[in-house]
Chain A
Amino acid sequence: MDIYKLLRSYLEGSIRQRALKSSWTYKIIKQAVAAQKRHYPWQASHRLLLHTIDQAAAAFLQKGPVVWHNVFFPTEILYGLGAIPFAPEAAAVVATGLGIAGRVLQRAEGDWLSSEACTFHRLAHGCDREGYFPPPAAVVCSSHLCDTAPQSLAATAAYHGVPFYLLDVPHRQDDAALEYVARQLKRITFSLVEALNLDWNGDRFQKALVNSNAARERLLAVNRLRQQRPACIRGEEAHSFIYLILACFGAPGTVEVYEELLTELNRRYREQRRAVPEEKARLLWLHLRPYYPNAIFQILEQEAGAVVVGEEMNYVYWEPLDPERPFYSLARKVLSHHGLGPVTRRIEAILAMADNYQASGVIHFAHWGCRQSTAGLRLLQDALRERDIPFLNLEGDCVDQSKYAPGAVRTRLEGFLEMLL
């Protein structure tokens, strides 16, 4: 049974919004996914999907106050409060996978959202206004990296008439900045407690940070394994775990998924089970990827043997959190992001990743409307050239399939591979 076909049939019918709010939907989907367990090449992927379904069910069935957040807000706070986090940018990916993006983007256009704006946010807007997303009880958003998120999410909060809390993140990383961010995180936390009438539980809050650290440790171990030759997991398979780093740190389920992935990876490296029969090149992938059906990874990994061995989005950029000083250490995490501040920080991090993963080439997927990711590309290209590392900037859209030109993408990828191999 194709789970996506099943979901699509639910969503395309007249009962689409009601279907998302029915516990039967999640029971059926979970049963269908559970029955497919042995068909998953990675059990961690299977566990990740079940974890995602549980999270979606909690949000859509309103099992608690649903708090929308952007993907750079530290979710440990939301898990620590016992709220139900919902990341509209990540949910937009699911909407793309379900094939409803085209119609929903039209809705966003009809609401005067500029087509110049990031498609993730336009899609999230359309999904929300069309009733595909669970209504928020509150919205939190961090100002760093993504310039569309604060405006887009503030508008959503206003539309639903719920409180909006902005985490204002400065570009500098000094003590004053740390203090400034920590103070805001504390204020947002207790504002949420008050506004949503939540029970403050210090132990639960600390546990979210402990979970976050446990997930971080496992992700670090996964990344260390992936730095070995030959690769034992294809980039296409590893990419989906990015969801965890963007929306699930602080949840116990996240630790379980990484644990499973680590166990499987360890076994495969021990058994030398290669990701591709012959590893001809090792690639580092920057930013995100298209989430609609496309041939990018097939061309790279299966046809050419050029394995994506690491992703920028899976990079552990922060130090362990201190559960005794939650706001201070979460502020430090936020300010540690390699994409924050001068572009040289990101370049240094990417060069270190290229070294660690022994990457012979770097591909950057330039998502439409994402300025934080694309504005410094010239400097990045120059830095990679100095190290003789070929670089491809692949322009496209992560969620809008109408921007995907298969022939043009194939030519760019094959041209890059011919240069590399």
Chain B
Amino acid sequence: MVLTAGVDIGSLTTKAVVVRDGHLVGAAVLKSGVDSAGIARKALQEALGQAGFKEDSLDGIVATGYGRIRIPFARRRVTEITCHARGIYHLWPDIRTVIDIGGQDSKVILLDDDGKVRDFVMNEKCAAGTGRFLEVMANALEVPVKDMGTLSQQASQGASISSMCTVFAESEVVSLVAEGRPVAEIIKGLHNAIAQRVVAMAQRAGWEEPVAMTGGVAKNLGVVQSLEEYLGTSIRIPPDPQIIGALGAALLAAG
């Protein structure tokens, strides 16, 4: 038996996955905080608890995500680019493009036939078009972020959002609310704006079908729908898209 774990320390959430002989046996998602190592350890313990194992039974731990360098108990550190690619390849080996939109960045990753990263493109160093962007907008609209996807599907058209700067877009959203524009249309407009930005990145990378999406934002069906419309293809979403990076890390820990 080979038992390994992957810990993905993102800006908004910390994810841990335990894999036994290539099968996912435990997973946990916690909110990230200032104590990255403490939260990562807690997430790992939760995932191990689900799987029914103790930390000392692990054959390997790989840390990924922005906080990967701050995890002392990780035996290896691998970027989330490679981990998301590995996680998706494990689920669907035919996928050639992974779109990962996380808390503070978005990436488009191209995979070769063996699931190795062929190329990747990341967003610029700001939160535009990421999970954090959606959180700020949800706050401005006074709706729970988890309801944004469902709400946007009630709109037949999206409001025009001209700026992707989080600060400017927030003030645009506030103006649209003041104009009496339905919230559903504003949210759809935001999703479209994110999709347009990500599609530009996908084009830069030279995306190919089939496409999968990972990261917390993949849970937002409104964003997925907008992306599908702009790309002109369907996008596969894993059962829990948020843990794919950690899953890939756990699989990489097995060698």
**How far apart sit A273 and B142, CA to CA, in the bound complex (Å)?**
63
B66 and A407 within 8 A (CB):
yes
Given contacts A405-B125, A408-B125, contact A419 B80 (CB under 8 A): no
Could you tell me the dominant secondary structure of chain B's interface residues?
Answer: mixed
Cβ contacts under 8 Å, B118 to chain A: 419
In this complex, what residue of B is CB-closest to A388? Answer: B118
Cβ contacts under 8 Å, B66 to chain A: 407, 411
**How far apart sit A61 and B194, CA to CA, in the bound complex (Å)?**
55
In this complex, what residue of B is CB-closest to A405? Answer: B125
Find B120's partner among A405, A408, A410, A419 (CB 8 Å cutoff). Answer: A419
A414 and B119 within 8 A (CB):
no
In this complex, what residue of B is CB-closest to A418? Answer: B82
Tell me, yes or no, whether B8 is within 8 Å of chain A by CB: no
In this complex, what residue of B is CB-closest to A411? Answer: B79
Cβ contacts under 8 Å, B81 to chain A: 411, 415, 418-419
In this complex, what residue of B is CB-closest to A412? Answer: B122
**How far apart sit A392 and B120, CA to CA, in the bound complex (Å)?**
9
Find A411's partner among B80, B204, B206 (CB 8 Å cutoff). Answer: B80
**In whole Å, how far is B99's beta carbon from the nearest beta carbon of chain A?**
15
Cβ contacts under 8 Å, A410 to chain B: 69
A418 and B78 within 8 A (CB):
yes
A408 and B117 within 8 A (CB):
no
A415 and B120 within 8 A (CB):
yes
Cβ contacts under 8 Å, A414 to chain B: 79
B125 and A419 within 8 A (CB):
no
Cβ contacts under 8 Å, B78 to chain A: 418
Could you tell me the dominant secondary structure of chain A's interface residues?
Answer: helix
Cβ contacts under 8 Å, B124 to chain A: 395
Tell me, yes or no, whether B105 is within 8 Å of chain A by CB: yes
Find B79's partner among A378, A395, A415 (CB 8 Å cutoff). Answer: A415
Task: Tally chain A residues at the interface, Cβ within 8 Å.
Answer: 16
Q: Which of A379-421 contact B (CB under 8 A)?
A: 385, 390-391, 395, 403, 405, 407-408, 410-412, 414-415, 418-419
B82 and A408 within 8 A (CB):
no
**In whole Å, how far is B221's beta carbon from the nearest beta carbon of chain A?**
28
**How far apart sit A418 and B86, CA to CA, in the bound complex (Å)?**
12
Cβ contacts under 8 Å, A415 to chain B: 79, 81-82, 117, 120, 122
Tell me, yes or no, whether B116 is within 8 Å of chain A by CB: yes
Given contacts A418-B81, A418-B82, contact A390 B119 (CB under 8 A): yes
In this complex, what residue of A is CB-closest to B77? Answer: A414
Tell which of B81, B124, B206 has the most Cβ of chain A within 10 Å.
B81
B117 and A419 within 8 A (CB):
yes
B125 and A418 within 8 A (CB):
no
**In whole Å, how far is B66's beta carbon from the nearest beta carbon of chain A?**
5
**How far apart sit A407 and B36, CA to CA, in the bound complex (Å)?**
14
**How far apart sit A403 and B126, CA to CA, in the bound complex (Å)?**
10
**How far apart sit A390 and B206, CA to CA, in the bound complex (Å)?**
14
**How far apart sit A395 and B69, CA to CA, in the bound complex (Å)?**
22
B78-91 toward A: CB 8 Å interface, digit per residue (1/0)?
A: 11111000000000
A419 and B122 within 8 A (CB):
no
**In whole Å, how far is B249's beta carbon from the nearest beta carbon of chain A?**
12
Cβ contacts under 8 Å, A395 to chain B: 124-125
Cβ contacts under 8 Å, A378 to chain B: 204
Q: Which of B117-145 contact A (CB under 8 A)?
A: 117-120, 122, 124-125
Q: Which of A64-115 contact B (CB under 8 A)?
A: none
**In whole Å, how far is B82's beta carbon from the nearest beta carbon of chain A?**
5
B116 and A411 within 8 A (CB):
no
**In whole Å, how far is B11's beta carbon from the nearest beta carbon of chain A?**
9
B79 and A418 within 8 A (CB):
yes
**In whole Å, how far is A26's beta carbon from the nearest beta carbon of chain B?**
39
B47-84 toward A: CB 8 Å interface, digit per residue (1/0)?
A: 00000000000000000001001000000001111100
**How far apart sit A415 and B83, CA to CA, in the bound complex (Å)?**
10
**In whole Å, how far is A408's beta carbon from the nearest beta carbon of chain B?**
5
**How far apart sit A403 and B78, CA to CA, in the bound complex (Å)?**
25
A419 and B105 within 8 A (CB):
no
Q: Which of B77-116 contact A (CB under 8 A)?
A: 78-82, 105, 116
Cβ contacts under 8 Å, A419 to chain B: 81-82, 116-120
**How far apart sit A414 and B80, CA to CA, in the bound complex (Å)?**
10
Interface residues of chain B, those whose CB is within 8 Å of chain A, are 66, 69, 78-82, 105, 116-120, 122, 124-125, 204, 206
Some 30 contacts from A to B, beta carbons below 8 A apart, are A378-B204, A385-B119, A385-B206, A390-B119, A391-B119, A395-B124, A395-B125, A403-B125, A405-B125, A407-B66, A408-B105, A408-B125, A410-B69, A411-B79, A411-B80, A411-B81, A411-B122, A412-B122, A414-B79, A415-B81, A415-B117, A415-B120, A418-B78, A418-B79, A418-B81, A419-B81, A419-B82, A419-B118, A419-B119, A419-B120
Interface residues of chain A, those whose CB is within 8 Å of chain B, are 378, 385, 390-391, 395, 403, 405, 407-408, 410-412, 414-415, 418-419
List 20 other contacts, CB 8 Å, given A405-B125, A418-B79: A385-B119, A385-B206, A407-B66, A411-B66, A411-B80, A411-B81, A412-B122, A414-B79, A415-B79, A415-B81, A415-B82, A415-B117, A415-B120, A415-B122, A418-B78, A418-B81, A418-B82, A418-B117, A419-B117, A419-B119
